[in-house]
Amino acid sequence: MKPILLGISLLGVLLLAPSVSEACIQKLVPDKTAVKIGDTVKVTASVKWIHDKCLLDVDDINFEYKGVLKVTQTKWKKVAKGKFECVITVKITGKVAEMKSWRKCSRAGRHGAELKFNVAQ
């Protein structure tokens, strides 16, 4: 009797416990991370939807830049089911250079990716 109660209790805890979830997986992949001020870097931004019927459009991804200047950005291109990519060209302008992508989902909240460059002094 005790093993059954223990099993039911454990199952209840697992079903009611909060879980960590993301609405999508975002990545920022540069063609190089060791840079100097004035360098131009191509960054491939990608997003992979977890929910098949995503409520957000791929263009709802926001970018923030610190110590970098966006030069160009290609249009988002579908590369697989629920996976999109674009290429952003940035110019390094500061000693601290980073780039962030994020979006706010009604299902899973705000989430994104962060990229920090190693700027040579």
91, 98, 75, 101: which is closest to 41 by C-alpha?
91
Ranges of residues in the chain whose predicted pLDDT is under 50: 12-21
Residue with tokens 């920022």: 28
The pLDDT score that the predictor gives to residue 16 is 43
CB 61 within 8 A of CB 53: no
In tens, the pLDDT along 67-94 reads: 999 999 999 999 998 899 999 999 999 9
pTM for the full model? Answer: 0.76
Domain parsing of the chain, residue ranges: 21-119
The pLDDT score that the predictor gives to residue 32 is 92
The pLDDT score that the predictor gives to residue 98 is 96
The pLDDT score that the predictor gives to residue 12 is 47
Could you give the CA distance from residue 86 to residue 62 in angstroms, rounded to a whole number? Answer: 13
- Domain 21-119, what architecture? Sandwich (2.60)
